[in-house]
Amino acid sequence: MNIVCAWCAGPAACVEGAVSHGICVECALAMLRKLPKAYLASIAEPDGTVTLFSGHRLDIETGRRR
C-alpha cells in the first residue's frame, strides 16, 4: 500500500499496492510547531521533546528536530 501525505500529497511511505493517506514527518513537525508551547510542555518528555509516531522528536524550545 502506498501511503500519501494528506497535507502535502508527498509520499509518507511507499509499499506496492493501493493508496491510503497519512502524514509525512515534515508536515507532522510543522503541525506541532503551530501548537501552543504550554500544551507541548504538558505532553513533552522530561528532556523537553515531543516524540512523533515515527520516532522523530521535536525540541519544544527550539522548534527543531532532534
pLDDT of 1 strictly over 80: no
Q: CB under 8 Å to 40, separation ≥6 — which residues? A: 32, 50, 58, 60
Q: What's the order of all strands across the beta sheet hosting 19-22?
A: 11-13, 2-5, 19-22
Average pLDDT over residues 1-14: 78
Q: In the prediction, which pLDDT does 13 show?
A: 65
Give the tens place of pLDDT for each residue, 12-66: 666 667 888 888 888 999 999 999 999 999 999 999 999 988 888 999 999 898 8
pTM exceeding the 0.85 threshold for the entire prediction: no
pLDDT of 3 strictly over 90: no
